[in-house]
Amino acid sequence: MSKWDHLWINARLATMRDGAGPYGAIEDAALADKGGRIAFAGRMSDLPGEPSNLATRVMDAQNQWITPGLIDCHTHLVFAGNRSEEFEMRLAGKSYEAIAKAGGGIMSTVRATRAASEDELYAQSLSRLHGLLKGGVTTVEIKSGYGLDEATELRMLRVARKLGQQTGLRVRTTYLGLHALPPEYASKRADFVNLMSGPVLRAIADEGLADAVDAYLEGIAFTAAEVERFFAAAAALGLPAKLHADQLSDTNGAALAAKFRALSADHIEYSDPAGIAAMAQAGTVAVLLPGAFFVLRETRKPPVDLLRRHGVPIAVATDCNPGTSPVVSLPTTMSMACTLFGLTPEEVLAGVTRNAARALGLKDETGTLEVGKAADYVVWPITRPAELCYWIGTLNPSAVACSAALAAANASTPA
Ligand code: NIG
Ligand code: FE
């Protein structure tokens, strides 16, 4: 047998395998990888020989916990500028909707992003990506949606792809074509929806710049009919849907997401029981975003008990964006998901691993520690997995492995 590349011994594994008991935990465990895939995840006593004979590099985890690499499955990480003035306006009593209606909100970031060069956009976004990486993230979803014209939407998605190539993180890109109606289309809504569902979508698909599409279904954004038109066009090109749904009001977003067998319906604070049942039927993941709930001082919580009762997979993400969730730490968000939404630490860890992978269409690739999956894992200096949700702003991984980095390195090394 040729040797494994790395072997961690004396570890405790939170494999997060479904149905394998709390955290899918294995004590007195070892984890090995070879060629960027997990080659062993089990008990030390089941190792097929002496560690030094088995792997090129043997590391002693000294009883630390190893989890799957964390997955942030909903971010708007690529943008220019910031919205700290709006933060102050909200503290002074103005609502998010009122600021948006007055031309601020998403449109203020659209103006800054349109004005930024690709290099500026890359540099500003890279520092945020480093923030996520420090928290143990190995896979991140990045949405467009601050361009709302062809050139800027494409530029955002190119920057997102380049961030993945250069940092070695696994980046999944989402074309958020229907995010806000730009003022130049104020009296031509249908033209804007047609543009985003037609020429811009095709240009993005032609360049392979998006792995999925997303839309913002809300009173201050787009209607169900507009979103359906956009999703149908994407489906015709083989692109799966995700939806910002029922965040500020009940717009039947959960049901619409289910109708299109969307990968996920995100936010869903106001979703009703019928919508949640439909999501369960369709296999649509519920992505909960406590950062936005916290920043907007919302009071309506997502229907966690209903999700549990229907067995809808729950994911948790930062929603990193300049308006409603200027958060670049997934562990901090995990703490919020427990304290604000009442999820258990185990549910939250599943929400940033196994279920987050599913929300990105990556369930066979990453999200659990299982032989054959990508070698994405994090070693944590903790004595219990719940510590991952308990500490705020202080916990750093001891080691992070991301197989996408290996793939990127191989791609750039001449054969
Ligand atoms: O997920 N809801 C729409 N999109 C973002 C907010 C974007 C912004 O305000 O810039 C969200 O909360
Ligand atoms: Fe969002």
Q: How far apart are CA 411 and CA 415, in angstroms?
A: 9
Please calculate the CA angle 187-104-223 and round it to the nearest 5 degrees. 45
**Ligand 1 pocket, mutate which of 128, 181, 214, 244 (most atoms under 8 A from CB):** 244
Contact of 84 with 71, CB cutoff 8 Å: no
Phi and psi torsions of 263, nearest 5°: -60, -40
Contact of 307 with 286, CB cutoff 8 Å: yes
Q: How far apart are CA 104 and CA 85, in angstroms?
A: 10
Ligand 1 center from residue 352 Cα (angstroms)? 20
Q: What is the pLDDT of residue 59?
A: 98
From the CA of 292, give the closest atom in ligand 1.
12
How would you classify the pairing of strands 37-43 and 55-60? unpaired
CB count, 10 Å around CB of 296?
17
Ligand 1 center from residue 323 Cα (angstroms)? 6
Segment 37-55 mean pLDDT:
98
Q: What is the pLDDT of residue 404?
A: 84
Q: List, chain by chain if needed, residues with CB within 6 Å of any ligand 1 atom.
A: 76, 105-106, 109, 216, 244, 247, 292, 319, 321-325
From the CA of 218, give the closest atom in ligand 1.
2
Contact of 55 with 386, CB cutoff 8 Å: no
**CATH number 3.20.20.140 given to 70-359:** yes
Q: How far apart are CA 412 and CA 131, in angstroms?
A: 25
Q: What is the pLDDT of residue 411?
A: 62
Strand partners of residue 38: 33
Contact of 139 with 362, CB cutoff 8 Å: yes
**Ligand 1 pocket, mutate which of 87, 144, 175, 179 (most atoms under 8 A from CB):** 179
Q: How far apart are CA 61 and CA 386, in angstroms?
A: 18
Q: What is the pLDDT of residue 415?
A: 39
On the question of pLDDT at 183 being above 80, the answer is: yes
On the question of pLDDT at 295 being above 90, the answer is: yes
Atom 1 in ligand 1: which residue has the minimum CA distance? 319
What tokens appear for 233 in the block?
């066009």
Q: What is the pLDDT of residues 59-75, one digit of tens each?
A: 999 999 999 999 999 99
Domain 4-68+369-409 carries which CATH code? 2.30.40.10
Which residue in the block uniquely carries the two structure tokens 């730490």? 329
> Does pTM surpass 0.85?
yes
Per-domain residue ranges of the chain: 4-68+369-409, 70-359
Ligand 1 center from residue 77 Cα (angstroms)? 11
Q: What is the pLDDT of residues 310-368, one digit of tens each?
A: 999 999 999 999 999 999 999 999 999 999 999 999 999 999 999 999 999 999 999 99
Average pLDDT score, the chain? 96
Burial tier of 60 (Cβ tally within 10 Å: 0-12, 13-18, 19+): exposed
Q: How far apart are CA 235 and CA 5, in angstroms?
A: 40
On the question of pLDDT at 414 being above 70, the answer is: no
From the CA of 100, give the closest atom in ligand 1.
9
Atom 3 in ligand 1: which residue has the minimum CA distance? 216
Ligand 1 center from residue 386 Cα (angstroms)? 29
- The helix-helix angle for 199-206 and 189-197 (nearest 10°) equals 20
What tokens appear for 209 in the block?
């710049």
Q: Do domains 4-68+369-409 and 70-359 have the same CATH topology?
A: no
Ligand 1 center from residue 55 Cα (angstroms)? 46
